[in-house]
Amino acid sequence: MRIALLAHLRHPIAPPFAGGLEAYTWHLAEGLSARGHDVTLFAAGDSDRRFVIDPVIPVHHEASFPGMEHRGDAGLKAHVDAGYAAACDRIAAGGFDVLHNNSLSRLPLERHRTTAVPTVTSLHVPPYDALRWFVHESLTPGHRITATSRAHARGWWPDGVPQDVSVLANGIDPAAWPFQEEGDGSAVWCGRMARVKGPHHAVAAARRAGLPLTLFGPIEEPDYWQAEVAPLLGGPIRYGGHCDGATLARRIGRASVFLFTPCWEEPFGLVAVEAMACGLPVAGFAMGAAEEVVGEAGRLVSAGDEAALAGAIGAALAIPRTVPHARVLRLFTRERWLDRCEALYAQARAA
pLDDT attached to residue 141? 86
Instruction: Give the residue-averaged pLDDT of 323-344.
Output: 98
d(CA 196, CA 205): 17
In this prediction, residue 39 has a pLDDT band, given cuts at 50, 70 and 90, of very high
d(CA 60, CA 41): 14
pLDDT in tens, 294-319: 999 999 999 999 999 999 999 999 99
In this prediction, residue 22 has a pLDDT band, given cuts at 50, 70 and 90, of very high
pLDDT in tens, 232-270: 999 999 999 999 999 999 999 999 999 999 999 999 999
Residues of the chain with pLDDT > 90, as a percent, come to 92
- From edge to edge, which strands make up the β-sheet containing 143-147? 52-57, 38-44, 2-6, 98-101, 119-122, 143-147, 165-167
Alpha-carbon 67 to chain mean position = 20
Name 85's Cβ contacts closer than 8 Å, sequence gap at least 6: 107
3-class DSSP state of 37: coil
Q: What is the CATH number of domain 174-331?
A: 3.40.50.2000
Longest dimension (CA), the chain: 60
3-class DSSP state of 107: helix
Interhelix angle 334-350/20-34, nearest 10 degrees: 80
Instruction: Give the residue-averaged pLDDT of 193-209.
Output: 98
Interhelix angle 270-277/322-331, nearest 10 degrees: 120
90-to-32, 52, 114, 152 alpha-carbon distances in Å: 21, 14, 13, 31
Question: Which phi and psi (to 5°) does residue 272 adopt?
Answer: -65, -40
Q: What is the CATH number of domain 2-171+333-350?
A: 3.40.50.2000
d(CA 303, CA 284): 8
Does the pLDDT value for residue 229 go beyond 90?
yes
Tell me if the bond preceding 267 is cis, omega within 30° of 0: no
Name 237's Cβ contacts closer than 8 Å, sequence gap at least 6: 203, 206, 207, 212, 213, 215
pLDDT attached to residue 6? 98
Is residue 113 a contact partner of residue 119, using CB atoms and an 8 Å limit? yes
Outline where 210-321 has alpha helix (H). Answer: 222-224, 245-254, 270-277, 290-294, 306-317
pLDDT attached to residue 73? 81
Same fold, 2-171+333-350 and 174-331: yes
Single-letter amino acid code for the residue at 145: I
Instruction: Give the residue-averaged pLDDT of 78-85.
Output: 96
What does the mean pLDDT of the chain come to? 96
In this prediction, residue 71 has a pLDDT band, given cuts at 50, 70 and 90, of confident
In this prediction, residue 72 has a pLDDT band, given cuts at 50, 70 and 90, of confident
Q: Is the pTM of this model over 0.85?
A: yes
Comparing CA positions, the residue from 247, 253, 254, 244 lying closest to residue 276 is: 253
CB atoms within 10 A of CB 218: 16
Is residue 329 a contact partner of residue 273, using CB atoms and an 8 Å limit? no
pLDDT attached to residue 20? 86
Outline where 191-333 has alpha helix (H). Answer: 199-209, 222-224, 245-254, 270-277, 290-294, 306-317, 322-331
Domain assignments of the chain as residue spans, ordered by start: 2-171+333-350, 174-331
